[in-house]
Amino acid sequence: MRGRKPKPRHLRVIEGNPGKRALPEDGVRLPSEYAAPPDFLDEVARAAWERLVPPLVERGLFTVLDHDSIAAYCEAFSRWRKHEQSLKDAGQETFETHGRQGRMIRTRPELGIISEQIRLMTSIGSNYGFSPVARMRLKDVGQGDLFNPFDNV
């Protein structure tokens, strides 16, 4: 889909409707309930799951449809931690190689993997409010928990 992401109905209600267009229906909301971590997650990814899912359930942001994306986030988190540790164990971010052109200094491959996992975690996490900016975008609005600035008038 091109253009801006569509604004959720509750944000349109909060900010007003200057165009006076009909607001979309809220649709059917799926229940937000805890689910056990998938079997394929390793120990670090499981710990991330156990740390992330309960607050998401509390705020109504985790449904059965979110299972795979949170699992992907946890896998990326686990990979990131594993390669950070590998880089720390190596003790340096570069290494020397010798080839036809002589001595060359290269960066460790872990740096690329770490960078990609952080990018993936940022991308997935922005949908769930895992950063201050993403939380501002979500406006911390739950189901039916709308703020109307004209209530006190």
Instruction: From 54, 59, 52, 24, select the one nearest 142 (Cα to Cα).
Output: 59
Residues 6+ apart with CB under 8 A from 10: 26, 139, 141, 146
Q: Distance between CA 141 and CA 1 in Å, rounded?
A: 25
pLDDT tens, residue by residue, 34-47:
999 999 999 999 99
Mean of pLDDT values over 94-108: 80
Q: Is 113 exposed, middle or buried (0-12, 13-18, 19+ CB in 10 A)?
A: middle
pLDDT band at 142 (very low <50, low <70, confident <90, very high): very low
Check: CB of residue 78 under 8 Å from CB of residue 117: no
Check: CB of residue 73 under 8 Å from CB of residue 52: yes
55: part of which helix (H) or strand (E)? helix 43-58
Count of residues for the chain? Answer: 153
What is the model's pLDDT at position 26? 64
pLDDT tens, residue by residue, 14-65:
677 777 777 766 666 788 899 999 999 999 999 999 999 999 999 888 988 9
Residues 6+ apart with CB under 8 A from 104: 96, 97, 98
